[in-house]
Amino acid sequence: MTAVIGTHTHVPTADERITAAGTAAQTDVGMTGPYDGVLGVRKDLIMQAMISLMPVRHELAEGDLRLCGLLVDADPATGRARNVERICHREG
């Protein structure tokens, strides 16, 4: 297996590695989208839903756009990872 990449909290973890078997791994690569919100949704709307216990229409948060992920260089012959690099690119 070339890579196992997780995401849950949507905040990048600094634990990228290559296992002894040659598998690239990272616990959480982070999210892609606006970080000034709750999983990309406007904070005020999420707070309103939590307080009122009523559904709200989700609207995209604005600002602080990020693209997060893991770059994996793999050997095409074996599929084993050779190098990993954590990325989190901010717009602008």
Distances (CA, A) of 22 to 5, 32, 69, 72, 82: 14, 26, 19, 11, 7
Express each pLDDT in 52-82 by its tens digit.
999 999 999 998 899 999 999 999 999 999 9
Distances (CA, A) of 47 to 20, 22, 37, 60: 44, 43, 10, 14
The amino acid at 86: R
Residue pair 34/61 in contact (Cβ under 8 Å)? The answer is yes
Express each pLDDT in 31-43 by its tens digit.
888 988 888 899 9
